[in-house]
Structure 1
Amino acid sequence: MGRKILGFLFVFVIVLVSYQCAQRGTPTGGPKDITPPELTRAEPPNLTTNFTGQKIRLYFNELVKLKDIQKQLIISPPLKNTPVLSPIGNANKYIEITIKDTLEPNTTYTFNFGQGIVDNNEENPKSFFTYVFSTGNYIDSLELSGVVKDAFNKKVDDFVSVMLYKIDSSYNDSTVYKRPPNYITNTLDSAIIFKLKNLKEGKYALFGIKDASSNNLFDQKTDKIGFVEDTISLPTDSIYLLNLFKEVQDYGVAVPSMEASNRISFGYYGEAEDIKIETLTEIPDTVRTKILKEREKDTLNFWFTPYEMDSLLFTITNENLKVKDTFKVKNRKVAFDSLKISMSQNGNIAMDQPLNLLSNTPLVSYDSTKIKLMDKDSVEIAYSLKLDTIENLLNFNFKVAPSQNYRMELVPGAVTDFFETTNDSVAYSFRTKSLADYGNLTLNINGGNIVYPIIVQLTNEKGDLQREIYAKKPQAYIFDNLDPGQYQARVIFDRNKNGKWDTGNLLEKRQPEKISYYPNLIELRANWEKIETFNLID
């Protein structure tokens, strides 16, 4: 009996011990670590003067790693050669930096790591940690701050480089294209405020660049730029605005290509109105030619009636810049571009948007007797037509009714193109919704110093243009029959009175035309009548 009791007690103790061990080994799910790593020491110390070494070590109180460091690390002034950072891909309690450049004398260098140093477990960032040293006997301590915005879009890009160039005998208007700045920082994520630190007294030029190639230079083809017109004198207490815009690319032409047996395409940069295309090759009198801009593309198409030839020699002249290029286009076996027509709207059409017949080849004429427009009861609808030879479309103008189904029929010969080709029989069906399916919006725009003309626009959430009204004087801005959804409203101040928004130009020292955005999205529901007041602030 005693042995049984002892055996029972033994088993009980074993189970109890095992249970307690199991309890000790069970995770408790304690609070998540949100503490960023802390720097414990640096070799050489932060803010070192008379720096002469090539290596820097930064020690932390826990294991750290580098995350997206190529984008996050900003070195000011920029180095010619990217320093080597280690460890890459592994965690360690220190980060080592090996400098491969010969450093400038009497210069303060700043390494801003952004969000690039994180702890190993939770990836808590050591936000905006900076390591500073000077090759001279003091640390430059002046600062410059400001705000970055986008000239056209409501939201500014992230990772905008803010660049400061010292104005000296080597500086000119094109320096930003050719060499990195003296000082640089960037905005992170959705931040719009910037601050340049550890600056030296002097006169400077300030730029903001969305640097697509990350080369610390301005590339007009890919980058947005903003600039401050005035010279900046440090020290200063002023806050500066950088308004980023994409320039119209300088004039240029691509090598032309024979895309079809009746079409040679000329891609270009700049403005099509300044470009003149002429043939140097003698063309038979029986061959007809026409030059037309391709819809929504920076391409000019040279249309011609096909004939036997080996090649064509062209001159392309920019009459504004007095620049002339010569190109030879060899004949090759490609298909003939034949007439294809389509409608600008299909299905549910917008009641307040134009309805156009579009063509891929140049339209030259139409016969309205061969075009029939009918409603859902097969009753013919009166309409008028206008041929736009610039946009290469045929515009239909008729009284659009709500809750209606339409059918448009074109019999052969309704439209004729440049090659005397006519359409086949074709029919298009489209419809309108009831007025109750739409919403109506009225914008009242207030402001004491509005300079007219202005362009009032509505876009969708993505920024795609939906409607616009051009105003030369104060008025109510009424947008009827809008599809339900979220809208953005903006006002363009048409400074040069050409009916569109104009971007800026750095070398011309021209800022883009001003745009003001309504602060909130405007929600519009079906069968709503909505009035919003847009207060413009100077």
Structure 2
Amino acid sequence: MKKIFFLFLISLLMLSCARVGSPNGGAKDTIPPKMLFSNIDTTRVNVPVTTKELRIEFDEYIKLKDINKNLIISPPIKNIKKILPANLGTKFLMIQWSDTLKENTTYNFNFGNAINDLNEANVLPYFNYAFSTGPEIEDNYLSGTLVDALGEKKSEGKDVNYVVGLYQVKDSMDYRQKPYYITNVDPDGYFELNYLSPGKYKILAFEDQNGNSIFDNGKEKFAFSKDDVVIEDKKNISGTKLKLYPSVPPIKYKEYKQTNGGIMLLYEGKPENVEVTSASANLKDYKVTHRPKSDSVFVWFDAIAQNIGIDKSDNIKLASKTVVKTDSVSVYYKNDPRAEMTLASGSDKVLAPNTLFKIKANFPVSEIQSDKWRLTSDSISQNFTANIS
């Protein structure tokens, strides 16, 4: 009996102890990760061009957030093989590549806001790491602001990334490649390009919607300066102002559609002028109509008179020439015997004095035989003239 009472007393004491508060974990960690050292020498100069890895150690476990969007390497290293950590947290960051580095070049790794500590997600903001394959690190920089020329603001909930890039001035400029130097624009529109080598550059800012660091003309807003940016040694540039404008889609042939009396060619970019010629022996008599800045070009022809697409679909080859290029267009046409020409009023039911009465047709009209038309008012024939517009 005493033994049972003694066990009961111990149980009560244990329950009583278990109810006394909860352990205090201390203040919440708000300190971002801190870099300790790197595999590259601390002087970061005269780094061998055969180096294939950058490894940075931190004082705590880290994770990488949207690394493919945040990480910008200037000048670009194309063949990146591996970036760690991938999913699990580690106390180091590692980037491996297969490219041979350029001689006497300063490389800058801008991690944006990608580096976070594992537990509290504290961000190490705009972390940069630079090293040089030459005897010194180039420390020239260019800074400025980017604004929308139309005064538009970012849509709420829409994550839009703006970048500013520098392209080396060469005989042939290709803006479809990644810039030689590139940086992100912060939410206030401020940007800064660091560790720049002396030389002449073209500057281009754009809305990097898909995060590929390449300007997609016709889809992304852009800002551009016609003047070269000249970077001189030990001379920094600040106060650069850039304005974003919508980009115009490139002019190019898209597709075709069969329509009453011919074929309609559709284009991207709304061309000012399009010349279409037949490259087929079966299409000799035709008419091309196109209104400037329209994305549609019509090729009209009499399929029955030229025996095109009567029993089966016939292939018609066309040459389409715009200011940009000439496209070879291959279309298949099958005449629709049910299609008939119809006329309809193109004017209001009530016409004001001295206004034209318009008639619309679903087929092209090449000639009007007005002597076979009759216009009457109260059974009295009226004189009139008619023309094709």
Q: Does the CA-based 8 Å contact 1:264-1:302 persist in structure 2?
A: yes
Instruction: Count matched residues.
Output: 347
Match of 1:64 among 62, 65, 83: 62
- What is the aligned partner in structure 2 of residue 236 from structure 1? 236
**Cα distance change, pair 110–11 in 1 and its aligned pair in 2 (3 A):** same
1:441-456 to structure 2, matched below 5 A, reads none
Give the superposition deviation at 1:185.
1.3
1:344-383, Cα deviation, whole Å (9 max, x unpaired): xxxxxxxxxxxxxxxxxx98634644x7xxxxxxxxxx98
- What is the aligned partner in structure 1 of residue 345 from structure 2? 365
Q: Does the CA-based 8 Å contact 1:149-1:155 persist in structure 2?
A: no
Give the superposition deviation at 1:44.
2.5
Give the superposition deviation at 1:18.
3.0
- What is the aligned partner in structure 2 of residue 253 from structure 1? 253
- What is the aligned partner in structure 2 of residue 356 from structure 1? none
1:119-268 to structure 2, matched below 5 A, reads 119-152=117-150, 154-155=152-153, 158-167=160-169, 171-172=170-171, 174-177=172-175, 179-188=177-186, 190-211=187-208, 216-234=213-231, 235-254=235-254, 256-260=255-259, 262-268=261-267
- Secondary structure at 1:239 match in 2: strand
The amino acid of 1:276's aligned partner reads: E
How many Å separate the matches in 2 of 1:283 and 1:144? Answer: 59
How many Å separate the matches in 2 of 1:116 and 1:17? Answer: 47
The amino acid of 1:187's aligned partner reads: V
Q: Does the CA-based 8 Å contact 2:219-2:247 persist in structure 1?
A: no
How many Å separate the matches in 2 of 1:38 and 1:302? Answer: 68
1:442-481 to structure 2, matched below 5 A, reads none
Match of 2:362 among 393, 400, 418: 418
Q: Does the CA-based 8 Å contact 1:158-1:187 persist in structure 2?
A: no
Q: Does the CA-based 8 Å contact 1:109-1:133 persist in structure 2?
A: yes
How many Å separate the matches in 1 of 2:335 and 2:352? Answer: 43
1:220-246, Cα deviation, whole Å (9 max, x unpaired): 354443222323333134311222334
- Secondary structure at 2:17 match in 1: helix
Q: Does the CA-based 8 Å contact 2:308-2:334 persist in structure 1?
A: no
**Cα distance change, pair 337–17 in 1 and its aligned pair in 2 (3 A):** farther
How many Å separate the matches in 1 of 2:179 and 2:317? Answer: 45
**Cα distance change, pair 132–327 in 1 and its aligned pair in 2 (3 A):** closer
Q: Which has the larger radius of gyration?
A: 2
TM-score w.r.t. structure 2 length?
Answer: 0.72
How many Å separate the matches in 2 of 1:122 and 1:272? Answer: 54
How many Å separate the matches in 2 of 1:298 and 1:31? Answer: 63
1:53-77, Cα deviation, whole Å (9 max, x unpaired): 3222222222211221111101111
- Secondary structure at 1:230 match in 2: coil
1:26-425 to structure 2, matched below 5 A, reads 26=22, 32-44=28-40, 48-52=44-48, 53-152=51-150, 154-155=152-153, 158-167=160-169, 171-172=170-171, 174-177=172-175, 179-188=177-186, 190-211=187-208, 216-234=213-231, 235-254=235-254, 256-260=255-259, 262-279=261-278, 291=289, 298-302=295-299, 307=304, 308-310=307-309, 311=314, 312-318=316-322, 325=327, 327-332=329-334, 365-366=345-346, 368-369=348-349, 416-419=360-363
- What is the aligned partner in structure 2 of residue 21 from structure 1? 18
Bigger relative contact order, structure 1 or 2, given CA contacts below 8 A and separation 6+? 2
- Secondary structure at 1:177 match in 2: coil
How many Å separate the matches in 2 of 1:221 and 1:336? Answer: 40
Question: Percent identity at matched positions?
Answer: 29
1:469-495, Cα deviation, whole Å (9 max, x unpaired): xxxxxxxxxxxxxxxxxxxxxxxxxxx
Give the superposition deviation at 1:148.
1.6
How many Å separate the matches in 1 of 2:129 and 2:262? Answer: 60
Q: Does the CA-based 8 Å contact 2:273-2:290 persist in structure 1?
A: no
Give the superposition deviation at 1:111.
0.8
Give the superposition deviation at 1:31.
5.4
For structure 2, which runs of at least 5 residues remain unmatched after alignment? 365-389
How many Å separate the matches in 2 of 1:85 and 1:202? Answer: 31
Give the superposition deviation at 1:418.
2.5
Cα RMSD of the aligned pairs, angstroms, is: 4.1
How many Å separate the matches in 2 of 1:113 and 1:338? Answer: 65
**Cα distance change, pair 133–83 in 1 and its aligned pair in 2 (3 A):** farther
- Secondary structure at 1:309 match in 2: coil
